[in-house]
């Protein structure tokens, strides 16, 4: 086995991929490699890739061109490995078309990386590790995090939902939950080393199940870990939102009152074709229950425009629903056909690109207005902010998030990163709030915003 190689890893895509990169770092360091901050002194370059939309693929193809040039002009042997969802999704196609790639490894095979790296440095064989597992949760691997205030903690992996547009079930395999004890031990050690916030991660956190333990119980025990000042989670599915979770959020001041609840479309025929298994009516009832149980809760969402066969009138339904529901913010995407999915196999990607653009522009405009209006209601309120960083544009300030996930900026004074500060909001601009610190926050009583 090659010892002490310097490894540089780049991460694309979602937070689960960021978390996986930290697992990969741990596996490689345990096997004797060193981590490098730059591709220029690295002997091994790994790209942890995403496959969710075509533009995620395009980024990697562009990056591979650069790495090909780097390899060609380098005087030493550079090994390039492709990890993650695109590796799993494209498999041999990726190897066949890109000879600068030495090996590819899907999300369930990272324990094999030391061997894959060693083999590809010793032979000219292309390495392939693409087995999807029903049980791999990387138990016993301690992620190497780069620090900060928030730590991501994966609680489950994979997805069994099979939404018709989504590649994730194919790239990340079947659902499996991590051992509750392992999660708790990880959170306890995060608190000990000073992380203030944990965000529990899963493709569909509702499906968390470990013996009699469901997601709501898991959140409760995590929230009780001393030193953890904030707990967040992402994402629950609207079809089977665990109702007891609402009481856990309402009853625990340190479980943030923000729920990301992906709607995807506001029309029942489209929702059915998407295989989301809820209706717009049941989604709206859930939103009402959430708002009725958790004072001041923020709800955000994901929307896809231009799903196959979506008509103008059906798009208008989505527009109207967003106007009525009034999400705090929304991630809005143009439909992108993914190989192997039900939609790709059975439906034609027939909404013209100009139409998708027109629709996305409309929804972004609408959401901007709504976000602006909701944020305006914070002016005059005092909100608790967990300080995360110094904004690049303003070294005299600090910024962080409210419980409801609003980015908030205020003059630094004597406060520092990691502090929980009460900030009196003076104005709102775009998606950000601006104010002045009025003191350290004493956690206990949740502050309820107006409106």
Residues that bind ligand SF4 (CB under 6 A): 13-14, 16-17, 50-52, 84-85, 167-168, 171-172
CA 29 from centre of chain: 25
Q: How, if at all, do strands 213-214 and 209-210 pair?
A: antiparallel
Q: How far is the CB of 414 from ligand SF4 (least distance, A)?
A: 39
Cβ nearer to ligand SF4, comparing 16 with 261: 16
Look at residue 172 and give the partner it binds from ligand 5AD, ligand SF4, none, a contact being a CB closer than 5 to 8 Å depending on partner kind: ligand SF4
- Measured from the CB of residue 360, what is the shortest distance to ligand SF4 in angstroms? 18
Report the nearest approach of ligand 5AD to the CB of residue 193 (Å): 30
Residue (165 or 410) nearer to ligand SF4, CB: 165
In order of 171, 236, 258, the CA distances from 301 in angstroms are 23, 11, 11
**What's the burial of 239, exposed, middle or buried (CB within 10 Å: 0-12/13-18/19+)?**
middle
What are the beta bridge partners of residue 234? 201
15 versus 309: smaller Cβ distance to ligand SF4: 15
Q: Which of 8, 103, 165, 327 binds ligand 5AD (CB under 6 A)?
A: 165
Binding to ligand 5AD in span 323-382, by CB under 6 A = 333, 335-336, 338
Determine phi and psi for 430, rounding to 5 degrees: 60, -130
Report the residue number, 167 or 273, with the smaller CB distance to ligand SF4.
167
* CB of 15 vs ligand 5AD, minimal distance in Å: 10
Which of 317, 338, 343, 155 is CA-nearest to residue 236? 155
x/- map, 286-325, ligand 5AD, by CB under 6 A: ----------------x-x---------------------
Shortest distance, position 20 Cβ to ligand 5AD, whole Å: 16
In order of 11, 384, 399, 432, the CA distances from 417 in angstroms are 25, 14, 9, 18
Instruction: Closer to ligand 5AD by CB, 257 or 264: give it.
Output: 264
- Partner from ligand 5AD, ligand SF4, none binding residue 17, C-beta < 5-8 Å depending on class: ligand SF4
Least spacing, CB of residue 155 vs ligand SF4, in Å: 15
Interface residue with ligand 5AD, options 7, 51, 52, 255 (CB under 6 A): 52
Report the C-alpha gap between 296 and 4 in whole angstroms: 52
Residue 28: C-alpha distances to residues 106, 152, 419 (Å): 16, 20, 33
Considering the complex, state which of residue 165 and residue 170 has its C-beta at the smaller distance from ligand 5AD: 165
The answer to whether 406 and 372 are in contact (CB under 8 A) is: no
Residue nearest to ligand 5AD (CB): 302
**Closest distance to ligand SF4 from the beta carbon of 78 (Å):** 24
- Report the partner that residue 431 touches, choosing among ligand SF4, ligand 5AD, none (CB closer than 5 to 8 A by kind): none
Binds 85, which of ligand SF4, ligand 5AD, none (CB < 5 to 8 A, cut-off by type)?
ligand SF4
The least distance separating ligand SF4 from the CB of residue 193, rounded to whole angstroms, comes to: 26
13 binds, among ligand 5AD, ligand SF4, none (CB under 5 to 8 A by kind): ligand SF4
Q: How many residues does this entry show for the chain?
A: 451
- What is the closest distance, in whole angstroms, from the C-beta atom of residue 259 to ligand 5AD in the complex? 14
Q: What is the closest distance, in whole angstroms, from the C-beta atom of residue 167 to ligand 5AD in the complex?
A: 7
Please say which residue, 216 or 344, places its beta carbon nearer to ligand 5AD.
Answer: 344
Which of ligand SF4, ligand 5AD, none lies near 51, with the C-beta cut-off 5 to 8 A by kind? ligand SF4
Nearer to ligand SF4, 7 or 85 (CB): 85
Tokens 């095979």 — which residue? Answer: 109
d(CA 52, CA 199): 21
Is the preceding omega at residue 235 within 30 degrees of 0, hence cis?
yes
Considering only residues 111 to 150 of the shown chain, the ones binding ligand 5AD according to CB under 6 A are none
Residue closer to ligand 5AD, measured from CB, 36 or 336? 336
> Residue 333 binds which entry of ligand 5AD, ligand SF4, none, with Cβ cut-offs from 5 to 8 Å by kind?
ligand 5AD
* Residues at the interface with ligand 5AD (CB under 6 A): 52-53, 165-166, 262, 264, 302, 304, 333, 335-336, 338
């Amino acid at each position: 086995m090659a010892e002490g190689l310097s490894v540089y890893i780049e991460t694309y895509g979602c937070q689960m991929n960021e978390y996986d990169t930290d697992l990969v770092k741990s596996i490689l360091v345990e096997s004797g490699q060193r981590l490098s901050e730059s591709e220029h002194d690295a002997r091994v370059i790994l790209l942890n890739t995403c496959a969710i939309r075509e533009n995620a693929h395009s980024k990697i193809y562009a990056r591979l061109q650069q790495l090909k040039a780097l390899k060609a002009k380098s005087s030493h042997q550079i090994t390039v490995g492709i990890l993650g969802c695109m590796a799993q999704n494209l498999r041999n196609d990726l190897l066949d078309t890109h000879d600068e790639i030495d090996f590819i490894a899907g999300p369930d095979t990272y324990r094999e990386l030391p061997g894959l790296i060693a083999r590809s440095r010793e032979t000219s064989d292309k390495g392939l590790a693409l087995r999807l597992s029903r049980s791999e949760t990387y138990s016993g691997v301690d992620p190497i995090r780069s620090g900060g205030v928030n730590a991501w903690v994966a609680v489950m992996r994979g997805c069994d939902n099979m939404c018709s547009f989504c590649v994730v079930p194919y790239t990340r395999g079947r659902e499996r939950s991590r051992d509750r004890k392992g999660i708790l031990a990880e959170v306890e050690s995060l608190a000990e080393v000073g992380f203030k916030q944990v965000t529990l991660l899963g493709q569909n956190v509702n499906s968390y199940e470990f013996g009699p333990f469901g997601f709501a119980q898991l959140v409760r025990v995590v929230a009780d870990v001393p030193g953890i000042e904030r707990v967040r989670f992402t994402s629950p599915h609207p079809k089977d939102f665990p109702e007891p979770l609402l009481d856990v959020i309402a009853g625990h001041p340190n479980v943030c009152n923000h729920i990301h609840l992906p709607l995807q479309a506001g029309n029942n025929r489209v929702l059915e074709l998407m295989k989301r298994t809820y209706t717009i009516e049941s989604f709206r009832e859930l939103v009402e229950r959430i708002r009725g149980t958790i004072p001041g809760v923020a709800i955000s969402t994901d929307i896809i425009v231009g799903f196959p066969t979506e008509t103008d009138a059906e798009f208008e339904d989505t527009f109207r629903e967003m106007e009525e529901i009034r999400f705090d913010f929304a991630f809005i995407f143009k439909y992108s056909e993914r190989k192997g999915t039900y939609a790709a196999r059975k439906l034609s990607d027939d909404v013209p690109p100009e139409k998708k653009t027109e629709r996305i522009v409309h929804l972004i405009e609408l959401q901007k207005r709504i976000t602006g209006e909701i944020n305006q209601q914070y002016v005059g309120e005092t909100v608790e902010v967990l300080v995360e960083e110094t904004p690049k544009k303003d070294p005299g300030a600090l910024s962080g998030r409210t419980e409801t996930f609003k980015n908030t900026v205020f003059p630094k004074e004597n406060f520092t990163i990691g502090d929980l500060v009460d900030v009196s909001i003076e104005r709102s601009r775009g998606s950000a709030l601006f104010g002045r610190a009025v003191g350290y926050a004493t956690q206990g009583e949740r502050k309820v915003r107006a409106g």
